[in-house]
């Protein structure tokens, strides 16, 4: 059976809205869009039977309780669990992993070992770091090649003290699959196998019994479901052995003043009121997804991913771009970076694509150790879903071919005076305000970028601006009553915006700077999006840090 991407896409209301009809959405590894069935189920819960679950005798509560337990049954079927009691609802994979790390670690002894990989999402790394420090556990990492775990070398890190092996089934940053199904037979009997399937569930059916895992986690919003709800599968015996992580209502059978008795799994791990509307949406998502031809979807996505990689590989032959990924054994993720020596930064590419209504993600993707392994601070991540098509890929390719590359690749050497004193006397704000379109304003910013001199001497940890996609350094001193600033970055858009910021605040008094309305100035220049908190390009963080220096 062939897969029809156009018919599939028509099930997603977001794409039918006028403001989104030209949107190319390629940020699916972060979150997928929702089909109408999911949106309708959430609305139906709130409009028809909104009530808290369990321990209430009225009709609405009974209906809501029945819905939650029916979704639990459906989730068990979706994952091929043996029982619905093996399904715990969490707020997402991150909460599920924190639950498991804390509950498992409470029963371990100092010196016990946790085996991970360098490719883990921070959600499957930081919780283990935290409990390892608290309980004196050892973290060991599977040998890797460019961050990709080499499972044939697993035995090198296993020992009689190995208690947990926790691995992602697919990398959220580079897309490669990890053959977790081969692991159970190779692990010590006392070792728990935990699988983070967050990047896998949208792309193929998952059978927890075939995997042989003790625990598996996933976030619904990554496989067409609602935000705020996740699945934790736990093998019955493994779940029963764990103490609860959070305390509160519904996870107890008896509460006294000095002690309590806890409910059996799964309710032992569901303290407080669950995200009930999200659970209703999850149930609709699971029913909808199981009604799709999953095999045909997977074949279609694989073909589209090969086309994307082939076209981008050809593009790298004529443009200063580099691919970090391959399409083989890949869940639909492509990572692209500027080639060495390029005048571009990854964030420049992301901003350029956003201006053309192409949604990708730029950064280390909460996988910083993996990006360190491949020698990159971050990448442009392009991630596919079944509603994408070749026209989306062709729009992306066309936009990349138009990347502004005219700015010189090198900037002037740093000037004397601890990096202060960029010569900006020959330019003015009117050069931006006179530009008639966003493309022209963008190119003007990239021309200004060349005016910001390189300042290696200020690239110190204490000068690094926090909260930026790309690295930006800022220093400040006062010359009499006037504030002097020096800024450096490798991202051309940030360089250009830094020149604009220096035009506004450098060599000005506190009173002069305090009189400026930055939101109004940027709106008049047609650049207000760069001050939007939702646009995480770091310029707002740079402006905030500069103003903190002014205020004292």
What is the secondary structure of 376-439 as a DSSP string? -S-EEEEE--TT--HHHHHHHHHHHHT----S-SS-PPPPTTTT-----TT--THHHHT--SHH
Q: How do 144-145 and 215-219 pair as beta strands?
A: unpaired
* Per-residue CA distances from 182 to 152, 214, 330 (Å): 10, 14, 17
The residues, any chain, with a CB within 8 Å of residue 106's CB and separated by 6 or more, are: 135, 243
Is-catalytic flag, 366?
Answer: yes
- Cα–Cα distance for residue pair 194/209, rounded to 1 Å: 13
- Cα–Cα distance for residue pair 64/54, rounded to 1 Å: 8
Around Cβ 187, how many Cβ atoms within 10 Å? 18
User: Contact at 8 Å (CB) between 31 and 244?
Assistant: no
The residues, any chain, with a CB within 8 Å of residue 268's CB and separated by 6 or more, are: 244, 251, 262
- Cα–Cα distance for residue pair 311/188, rounded to 1 Å: 45
Of 191, 213, 285, 366, the active-site residue reads 366
User: Contact at 8 Å (CB) between 178 and 196?
Assistant: no
Copy the structure tokens of residue 524. 């008049």
* Per-residue CA distances from 37 to 10, 40, 91, 205, 289 (Å): 12, 5, 21, 20, 10
Tallying the residues shown for the chain, one arrives at 552
- Cα–Cα distance for residue pair 229/92, rounded to 1 Å: 5
Running DSSP on this structure, what letter comes out for residue 247?
-
- Cα–Cα distance for residue pair 27/360, rounded to 1 Å: 5
The residues, any chain, with a CB within 8 Å of residue 238's CB and separated by 6 or more, are: 192, 214, 215
- Cα–Cα distance for residue pair 181/47, rounded to 1 Å: 43
- Cα–Cα distance for residue pair 220/135, rounded to 1 Å: 31
Running DSSP on this structure, what letter comes out for residue 53?
-
User: Contact at 8 Å (CB) between 234 and 244?
Assistant: no
Scored b (16 or more CB within 10 A) or e, 534-545 reads: eebbbbbbbbeb
User: Contact at 8 Å (CB) between 218 and 230?
Assistant: yes
Around Cβ 287, how many Cβ atoms within 10 Å? 15
Around Cβ 110, how many Cβ atoms within 10 Å? 8
Q: Which residues are catalytic, by number?
A: 366
């Amino acid at each position: 059976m062939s897969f029809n991407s156009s018919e599939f896409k028509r099930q997603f209301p977001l794409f039918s809205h006028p403001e989104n009809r030209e949107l190319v959405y390629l940020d699916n590894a972060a979150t997928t869009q929702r089909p109408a069935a999911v949106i309708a189920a959430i609305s139906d819960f709130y409009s028809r039977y909104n009530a808290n679950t369990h321990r209430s005798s009225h009709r609405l509560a009974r209906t809501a309780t029945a819905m939650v337990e029916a979704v639990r049954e459906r989730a068990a079927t979706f994952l091929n669990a043996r029982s619905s009691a093996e399904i715990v609802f969490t707020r997402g994979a991150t909460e599920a992993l924190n639950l498991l790390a804390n509950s498992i670690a409470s029963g371990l002894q100092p010196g016990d070992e946790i085996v991970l990989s360098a490719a883990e999402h921070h959600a499957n790394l930081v919780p283990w770091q935290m409990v390892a420090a608290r309980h004196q556990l050892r973290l060991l990492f599977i040998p890797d090649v460019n961050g990709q775990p080499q499972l044939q070398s697993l035995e090198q890190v296993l020992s009689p003290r190995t208690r947990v092996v926790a691995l992602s089934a697919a990398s959220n940053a580079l897309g490669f699959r990890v053959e977790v199904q081969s692991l159970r037979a190779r692990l010590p009997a006392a070792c728990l196998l935990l699988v983070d399937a967050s990047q896998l569930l949208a792309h193929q059916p998952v059978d927890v019994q075939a995997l042989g895992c003790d625990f598996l986690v996933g976030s619904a919003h990554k496989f067409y479901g609602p935000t705020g709800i996740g699945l934790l599968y736990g093998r019955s015996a493994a779940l029963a052995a764990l103490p609860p992580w959070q305390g509160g209502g519904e996870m107890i059978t008896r509460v006294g003043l000095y002690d309590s008795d806890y409910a059996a799994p799964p309710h032992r791990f569901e303290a407080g009121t669950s995200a009930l509307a999200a659970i209703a949406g999850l149930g609709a998502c699971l029913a909808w997804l199981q009604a799709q031809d999953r095999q045909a979807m997977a074949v279609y996505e694989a073909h589209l991913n090969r086309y994307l990689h082939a076209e981008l590989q050809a593009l790298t032959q004529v443009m200063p771009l580099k691919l970090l990924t391959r399409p083989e054994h890949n869940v639909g993720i492509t990572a692209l970076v500027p080639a060495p020596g390029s005048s571009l930064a990854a964030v420049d590419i992301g901003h350029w694509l956003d201006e053309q209504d192409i949604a990708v993600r730029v950064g280390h993707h909460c996988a910083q150790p993996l990006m360190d392994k491949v020698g990159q601070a971050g990448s442009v991540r392009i991630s596919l879903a079944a509603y994408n098509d070749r026209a989306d890929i062709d729009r992306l390719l066309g936009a990349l071919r138009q990347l502004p590359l005219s700015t010189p690749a090198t900037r002037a050497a740093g000037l004397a005076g601890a990096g202060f004193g960029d010569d900006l006397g020959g330019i003015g704000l009117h050069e931006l305000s006179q530009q008639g379109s966003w493309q022209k304003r963008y190119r003007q910013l990239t021309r200004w970028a060349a005016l910001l001199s390189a300042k290696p001497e200020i690239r110190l940890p204490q000068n690094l601006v926090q909260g930026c996609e790309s690295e930006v350094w800022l220093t400040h001193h006062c010359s009499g009553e006037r504030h002097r600033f020096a800024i450096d970055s490798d991202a051309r858009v940030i360089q250009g915006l830094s020149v604009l910021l220096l035009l506004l605040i450098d060599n000005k008094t506190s009173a002069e700077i305090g009189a400026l309305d930055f939101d109004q100035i940027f709106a008049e220049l047609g650049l207000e999006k760069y001050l939007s908190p939702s646009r995480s390009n770091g310029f707002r963080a740079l402006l905030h840090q500069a103003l903190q220096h002014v205020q004292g």
